[in-house]
């Protein structure tokens, strides 16, 4: 008498596998791979951000202008009328014909991806098309890195920051407890943290109150407001240096015990800063952050070492977040919200409760129904169903998959559909028993006859689920995932597993008790 | 227990006209509803903001409406109860792009005087994302149908594929009609429900078709109508039982699954009923109308078998060294 067969051994392994690997998820223990709950179940913030990549081009042009000014000054090339025209090109004029060759060579060396066109001694510097594309692409990937760094430094548990499509950024932050926390996180992400050190145009500064934006532009200047007061500053449009040369930023306190931010510059930045302060003694230099002037102290002497301080009337939290933003770098281009979903923790808990209730109730109904209708065959199907549930959980745990609310719905639906295979098989077996086949023959042929139907039906459903997974977004992906896993797992448990159980039970199946075993009347079967 | 005991084939095909008319009437009504009343697009597809607020005790909906209307931006906002009387949702068409400022903050401030409450959910979808999601959704429906057409053609025959796709278009259209009729908000999860119906309805149809395919091979009588009657009757028990178990779970999902997946559950519920009906009464008659010929199919199968046999023979001869 054969008691064990490969099918039941396979099923037993699957069951053990399922139980072992779903334990960490079910108990939510610390160790082991487990299913993470989606933001809609545990609460959190989900955002899809767009990026204004045109701004990245503008600031790249600005920084190119700053470089041009610096190298011309450094190499003592005499120039005039260095201007940024319409945010996309730089124009300047050389005063000495002998400098032309040298200037061209320098620009070519220092500024990659640009084309220089000349008209006598007037020059126009533009970015090439490839450079523009590259800058845009760079802005995205840099924004992803920067936002990730900021969230990590903020000390949040497992935030997700990923590029989505060509020009979008997905941000997911689980476990936000309060409205105020969420606000703080959004501001941290949004902060451009674009730091510039700019020279005050002392020659015309007195007239700033009456000067228009356009007039300032004609002098190559820009008017920026103070961060706290209504004061306005007239600044040279081309900055002395910007945040790209910053190496560290920390919160400190000044003599009045007010929070300040101390930052240090890298070697090149420190040199530029030193050179600039040396020639600008007695003038003012403005510390500009996100186009607002935080302070504009007088330069009393050359400042070496590259350590600078931003003071303003910061609150301590604000200073802390700002330092993080500065440390993790500026956003080359500002981001904006395209989609935002936030779920409070209490709603997530409610969702878990109600969907679990639906799962348990649905499960119990199906289990009882199968036993009532099919007798022992129903019990066999129910065993497979339980195996199926554990397998779904185990596979999801191993992949570290995310369980969302629609994902829960997917599992509930799988419970209803997974017994389908067993319904088909048992119906076939019943049919064959009525035709007068013996029990072993009826079981074997029943499985054979049912197989193509189950396979074709499952593959077509799987096609729909896979399309849903590929084209779905966010939570819908979760639904498609659990359903796909459920279908695949049910092929193992409902076809192979139950077949094995029947083969194992076969010697015990009494052909006079077909009512007990298959829920049909005994007469008619031989 | 047995409910559908097979005794003799039901004569379904002779009544197929009646079911055809019923289906066409349902389809026309659904189509009319979709065209005239149109979908009630939720924020996923239309863009806008949704704020779900829970109060301690009954939500003072009148006071909430007054409070919200104070802000010009929210004049067109709607406030409705959500599931229980303690919860309300506020929907507006506006969405804010600026990260720093947020609708939930504004709503929080506006509602301050209305009682003790907690903002539990804020969904905001920009108009551009909404239209993108809509395109993607439509695309996924189309792709799924194409994929299924190819697979079924490959496994059965093209008429089976066309018939099954027509049946599922029938089901999805009627489910959509119900969604419009009962004013269910169409969001991403409604779309997921429609795609599930697509898979489910097909699942049912395929089981019946599989039996017909088997019947064509084993039943001597070459009359397609009789074969279909026999096969549909044989699978009737399975079709009804599986639909019943699925119906149970979807029903519990709809009843107890919470307000957020209420629309999802409802759409599925309609889909399961229609899907079951169509796989019994609609899909197979389409095969008849498409003039599927049993004898042609048998000839083709026989020719295929013959070719395979010949191949085998050749291989055997080759292996024996006679070629």
Q: Which of A406, A415, A473 sits opposite B249 (nearest CB)?
A: A415
pLDDT tops 90 at residue B25: yes
Q: Do A463 and B148 touch (CB under 8 A)?
A: yes
Tokens of B251: 């029903």
What is the nearest CA distance from A519 to chain B, expressed in angstroms?
Answer: 5
Q: What is the pLDDT of residue A55?
A: 82
| Contact assessment for residue A102 and residue A77, using Cβ atoms and an 8 Å cutoff | yes
What is the C-alpha to C-alpha distance for residues A363 and A137, in angstroms, rounded to an integer? 49
Report domain extents, chain B: 13-40+130-292, 48-125
Any idea which residue has 């084309």 for tokens? A115
Q: Which of A413, A431, A476 sits opposite B250 (nearest CB)?
A: A413
Interface of A with B in 348-367 (CB under 8 A): 350-351, 354-355, 357-358, 361-363, 365-366
The CATH class given to the B13-40+130-292 domain equals: mainly alpha
Residue A372, number of CB atoms within 10 A of its CB: 11
Q: Do A190 and B99 touch (CB under 8 A)?
A: yes
What is the C-alpha to C-alpha distance for residues B254 and B266, in angstroms, rounded to an integer? 6
- The residue of chain B nearest to residue A435, with distances taken between CA atoms, is B6
Q: Do B234 and A431 touch (CB under 8 A)?
A: yes
Q: Which of A179, A183, A362 sits opposite B249 (nearest CB)?
A: A362
CATH code of the domain containing A506: 1.20.1640.10
Q: Which of A37-46, A58-67, B100-109, B310-319 has the lowest mean pLDDT?
A: B100-109
Last residue of a domain, one of A308, A343, A378: A343
Residues A386 and A427 in one domain: yes
Task: Provide the H-helix boundaries in B37-73.
Answer: 43-46, 61-69
What is the C-alpha to C-alpha distance for residues A332 and A244, in angstroms, rounded to an integer? 10
Residues A499 and A434 in one domain: yes
What is the nearest CA distance from A414 to chain B, expressed in angstroms?
Answer: 9
Chain A neighbors of B152, CB-CB under 8 A: 456, 460
Chain B neighbors of A482, CB-CB under 8 A: none
Residue A323 in any domain: the answer is no
Kindly give the pairing relationship between strand B48-55 and strand B84-92: antiparallel
What is the C-alpha to C-alpha distance for residues A340 and B49, in angstroms, rounded to an integer? 9
Is the CB of residue A427 less than 8 Å away from at least one CB of chain B? yes
- The residue of chain A nearest to residue B121, with distances taken between CA atoms, is A343
Residue A453 in any domain: the answer is yes
| Contact assessment for residue A240 and residue A272, using Cβ atoms and an 8 Å cutoff | yes
What is the nearest CA distance from B209 to chain A, expressed in angstroms?
Answer: 8
Residue to mutate among B56, B168, B203, B268, with most A CBs inside 10 A, is: B203
Q: Do A456 and B268 touch (CB under 8 A)?
A: no
Identify the three-state secondary structure at position A279. Answer: helix
A44: Cβ–Cβ under 8 A, 6 or more apart, which residues? A172, A173, A174, A175, A176, A342, A343
User: Phi, psi (5° rounding) for residue A265?
Assistant: -105, 155
Q: What Å distances lie between residue A459 and A310, A519, B152, B165, CA to CA?
A: 63, 30, 10, 15
Identify the three-state secondary structure at position A289. Answer: strand
Residues A351 and A361 in one domain: yes
Identify the three-state secondary structure at position B39. Answer: coil
- The residue of chain B nearest to residue A434, with distances taken between CA atoms, is B6
Residues A184 and A88 in one domain: yes
Residues A281 and A367 in one domain: no
Chain A neighbors of B192, CB-CB under 8 A: 406, 468, 472, 476, 479-480
Residue to mutate among B54, B172, B191, B258, with most A CBs inside 10 A, is: B258
Is the CB of residue A186 less than 8 Å away from at least one CB of chain B? yes
Last residue of a domain, one of A343, A378, A407: A343
Domain tally, chain A: 3
Q: What is the pLDDT of residue A526?
A: 44
pLDDT tens per residue across all 526 residues of chain A: 456 788 888 888 999 999 888 888 887 777 777 888 888 888 888 888 888 888 888 888 888 888 888 888 888 888 888 888 877 788 888 888 787 888 888 888 777 778 888 887 888 888 888 888 888 888 888 888 888 888 887 777 678 888 887 788 888 888 777 777 788 888 888 777 778 888 888 888 888 878 888 888 888 888 888 877 888 888 888 888 877 777 777 888 888 888 888 878 888 888 888 888 888 888 888 888 888 888 888 887 888 777 877 777 777 877 888 787 777 777 778 888 888 888 888 888 888 888 888 888 888 998 999 999 988 899 999 999 999 999 999 998 888 888 887 887 788 777 777 788 888 999 889 888 888 888 888 899 999 988 888 888 888 888 888 887 887 766 677 778 888 888 889 888 888 889 988 888 888 887 777 778 887 765 544 4
What is the C-alpha to C-alpha distance for residues A412 and A426, in angstroms, rounded to an integer? 22
Residues A131 and A277 in one domain: no
Q: What is the pLDDT of residue B23?
A: 92
Tokens of B290: 């498409």
| Contact assessment for residue B20 and residue B285, using Cβ atoms and an 8 Å cutoff | yes
Residues A373 and A465 in one domain: yes
Residue A432 in any domain: the answer is yes
Residue A302 in any domain: the answer is yes
Q: Do A464 and B148 touch (CB under 8 A)?
A: yes
Identify the three-state secondary structure at position B196. Answer: helix
Residues A180 and A56 in one domain: yes
In terms of pTM, does the model score above 0.80?
no
Contacts for B77-86: CB closer than 8 Å, 24+ residues apart: B82/B52, B82/B259, B83/B258, B83/B259, B83/B262, B84/B259, B85/B58, B85/B59, B86/B54, B86/B55, B86/B56, B86/B57, B86/B58, B86/B59
Q: What is the pLDDT of residue B84?
A: 82
Chain B neighbors of A49, CB-CB under 8 A: 99
Per DSSP, the residues of A392-419 read HHHHHHHTTPEE-HHHHHHHHHHHHHHH
What is the C-alpha to C-alpha distance for residues B59 and B316, in angstroms, rounded to an integer? 83
Last residue of a domain, one of A287, A308, A343: A343
Residue B69, number of CB atoms within 10 A of its CB: 14
Q: Do A336 and B242 touch (CB under 8 A)?
A: no
Residue A322 in any domain: the answer is no
Q: Which of B99, B192, B252 sits opposite A468 (nearest CB)?
A: B192
SS3 per-residue string spanning A117-129? EEECCEEEEEECH
Closest CA to A203 of A125, A134, A283, A123: A283
Tokens of B236: 């009737």
Task: Give the strand order in the sheet containing A307-310.
Answer: A246-253, A259-265, A307-310
Q: What Å distances lie between residue B109 and A479, B48, B116, CA to CA?
A: 36, 19, 12
Is CATH 3.40.50.300 the classification given to domain B48-125?
A: no
Is the CB of residue A192 less than 8 Å away from at least one CB of chain B? no
Tokens of B66: 């007054």
Residues A336 and A349 in one domain: no
Per DSSP, the residues of B205-225 read HHHHHHHHHHHHHH-S---HH
CATH code of the domain containing A172: 3.30.70.3400
Closest CA to A319 of A258, A257, A394, A261: A261
Residue A526 in any domain: the answer is no
Residue A380 in any domain: the answer is yes
Residue A158, number of CB atoms within 10 A of its CB: 11
Q: Which of A363, A430, A467 sits opposite B140 (nearest CB)?
A: A467
Residue to mutate among A38, A341, A362, with most B CBs inside 10 A, is: A362
Q: Do B152 and A460 touch (CB under 8 A)?
A: yes
| Contact assessment for residue A280 and residue A200, using Cβ atoms and an 8 Å cutoff | no
Per DSSP, the residues of B229-252 read HHHHHHHHHHHHHHHHHHHHHHHH
- The residue of chain A nearest to residue B195, with distances taken between CA atoms, is A464
User: Phi, psi (5° rounding) for residue B109?
Assistant: -65, -40
Residue B196, number of CB atoms within 10 A of its CB: 29
CATH code of the domain containing A289: 3.30.1360.200
Q: What Å distances lie between residue A247 and A224, A253, A324, A365, CA to CA?
A: 25, 19, 12, 63
Q: Which of B139, B237, B261 sits opposite A471 (nearest CB)?
A: B139
Residue A383, number of CB atoms within 10 A of its CB: 18
Q: Which of B1, B139, B204 sits opposite A373 (nearest CB)?
A: B1
What is the C-alpha to C-alpha distance for residues B241 and A373, in angstroms, rounded to an integer? 9
Structural domain range at position A232: 194-316
Nearest-Å Rg of the Cα atoms of chain B is 27
Residues B175-232 have pLDDT tens digits of 999 999 998 888 877 877 887 787 788 888 888 998 888 888 888 887 888 888 888 8
- The residue of chain A nearest to residue B187, with distances taken between CA atoms, is A476
- The residue of chain A nearest to residue B249, with distances taken between CA atoms, is A362
Averaged pLDDT of chain B: 84
Interface of A with B in 460-479 (CB under 8 A): 460-461, 463-465, 467-468, 470-476, 479
Q: What is the pLDDT of residue A1?
A: 45
Residues A225 and A367 in one domain: no
What is the nearest CA distance from A485 to chain B, expressed in angstroms?
Answer: 15
Tokens of B267: 């759409």
Question: What ipTM does this complex have?
Answer: 0.80
Element (H, E) at A223: strand A221-225
Q: Do B244 and A365 touch (CB under 8 A)?
A: no
Tokens of B165: 């796709």
Identify the three-state secondary structure at position A212. Answer: coil
Residues A176 and A216 in one domain: no
Residues A184 and A261 in one domain: no
User: Phi, psi (5° rounding) for residue A292?
Assistant: -125, 140
Is the CB of residue A488 less than 8 Å away from at least one CB of chain B? no
Average pLDDT over every residue of B152-177: 89
- The residue of chain B nearest to residue A477, with distances taken between CA atoms, is B192
Residue to mutate among A407, A432, A435, A457, with most B CBs inside 10 A, is: A457
């Amino acid at each position: 008498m054969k008691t064990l067969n490969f099918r039941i051994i396979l099923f037993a392994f699957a069951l053990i596998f399922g139980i072992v690997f779903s334990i960490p998820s079910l108990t939510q223990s610390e160790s082991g791979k487990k299913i993470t709950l989606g933001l809609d179940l545990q609460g959190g913030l989900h955002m899809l951000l767009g990026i204004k990549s045109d701004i990245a081009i503008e600031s790249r042009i600005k920084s190119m202008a700053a470089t041009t000014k610096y190298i011309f000054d450094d190499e003592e090339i005499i120039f005039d009328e260095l201007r940024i025209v319409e945010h996309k090109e730089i124009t300047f004029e050389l005063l000495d014909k002998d400098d032309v060759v040298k200037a061209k060579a320098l620009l070519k060396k220092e500024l990659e991806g640009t084309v220089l066109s000349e008209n006598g001694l007037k020059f126009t510097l533009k970015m090439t098309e490839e450079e523009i594309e590259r800058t845009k692409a760079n802005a995205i990937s840099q924004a992803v890195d920067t936002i990730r760094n900021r969230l990590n430094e903020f000390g949040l548990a497992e935030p997700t920051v990923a590029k989505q499509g060509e020009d979008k950024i997905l941000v997911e932050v689980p476990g936000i407890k309060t409205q105020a926390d969420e606000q703080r996180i959004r501001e941290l992400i949004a902060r451009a943290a674009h730091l510039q050190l700019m020279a005050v145009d002392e020659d015309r500064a007195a007239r700033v109150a009456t000067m228009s934006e356009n007039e300032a532009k004609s002098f190559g200047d820009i008017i920026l407001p103070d961060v706290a007061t209504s004061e306005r500053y007239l600044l040279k449009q081309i900055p002395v240096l910007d945040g790209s040369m910053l190496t560290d930023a920390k919160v400190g306190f000044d003599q009045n015990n007010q929070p300040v931010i101390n930052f240090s510059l890298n070697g090149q930045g420190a040199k530029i800063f030193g050179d600039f302060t040396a020639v600008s003694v007695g003038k003012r230099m403005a510390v500009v952050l996100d186009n607002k002037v935080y302070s504009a102290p007088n330069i009393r002497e050359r400042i070496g070492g590259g350590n600078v301080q931003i003071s303003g009337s910061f609150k301590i939290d604000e200073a802390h977040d700002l330092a993080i933003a500065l440390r993790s770098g500026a956003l080359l281009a500002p981001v904006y919200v395209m989609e935002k979903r936030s779920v409070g923790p209490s709603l997530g808990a409610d969702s878990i409760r109600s969907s679990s209730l639906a799962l348990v109730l649905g499960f119990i109904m199906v289990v009882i129904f199968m036993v009532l209708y099919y007798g022992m065959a129903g019990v066999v199907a129910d065993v497979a169903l339980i195996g199926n549930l554990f397998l779904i959980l185990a596979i999801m745990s191993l992949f570290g998959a995310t369980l969302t609310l629609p994902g829960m719905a997917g599992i509930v639906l799988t419970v209803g559909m997974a017994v389908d295979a067993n319904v088909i098989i048992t119906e076939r077996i019943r049919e064959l028993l009525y035709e007068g086949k013996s029990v072993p023959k009826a079981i074997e042929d029943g499985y054979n006859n049912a197989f193509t139907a189950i396979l074709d039906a499952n593959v077509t459903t799987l096609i729909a689920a896979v399309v849903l997974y590929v084209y779905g977004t966010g939570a819908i992906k979760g639904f498609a995932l659990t359903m796909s896993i459920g279908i695949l797992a049910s092929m193992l448990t409902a076809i192979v597993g139950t077949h094995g159980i029947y083969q194992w039970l076969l010697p015990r199946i009494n052909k006079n008790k077909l009512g007990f075993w298959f829920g049909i009347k005994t007469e008619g079967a031989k | 227990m047995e409910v559908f005991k097979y005794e003799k084939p039901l004569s379904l095909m002779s009544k197929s006209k009646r079911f055809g008319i019923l289906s066409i009437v349902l389809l026309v009504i659904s189509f009319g509803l979709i065209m005239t009343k149109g979908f009630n697009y939720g924020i996923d597809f239309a863009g806008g903001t949704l704020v779900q607020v829970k109060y301690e005790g009954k939500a003072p909906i009148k006071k909430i409406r007054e409070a919200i209307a104070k802000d010009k931006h929210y004049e067109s906002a709607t406030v409705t109860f959500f599931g229980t009387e303690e919860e309300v949702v506020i929907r507006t068409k506006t969405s804010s792009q600026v990260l720093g400022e947020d609708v939930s903050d504004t709503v929080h401030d506006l509602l301050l005087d209305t009682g003790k409450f907690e903002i539990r959910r804020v969904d905001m979808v920009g108009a551009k994302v909404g239209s993108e999601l809509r395109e993607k959704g439509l695309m996924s429906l189309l792709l799924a149908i194409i994929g299924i057409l190819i697979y079924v053609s490959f496994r059965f025959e093209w008429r089976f594929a066309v018939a099954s796709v027509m049946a599922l278009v029938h089901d999805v259209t009627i489910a959509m009609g119900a969604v419009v009729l009962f004013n269910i908000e169409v969001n991403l999860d409604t779309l997921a429900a429609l795609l599930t119906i697509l898979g489910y309805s097909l699942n049912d149809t395929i089981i019946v078709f599989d039996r017909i395919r088997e019947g064509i091979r084993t039943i001597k009588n070459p009359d397609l109508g009789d074969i279909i009657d026999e096969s549909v009757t044989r699978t009737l028990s399975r079709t009804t039982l599986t639909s019943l178990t699925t119906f149970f779970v979807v029903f519990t999902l709809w009843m107890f699954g919470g307000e957020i997946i209420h629309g999802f559950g409802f759409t599925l519920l309609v889909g399961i009923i229609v899907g079951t009906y169509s796989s019994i009464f609609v899909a197979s008659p389409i095969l008849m109308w498409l003039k599927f010929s049993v004898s042609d199919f048998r000839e083709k199968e026989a020719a295929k078998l013959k070719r395979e046999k010949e191949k085998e023979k050749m291989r055997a001869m080759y292996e024996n060294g006679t070629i």
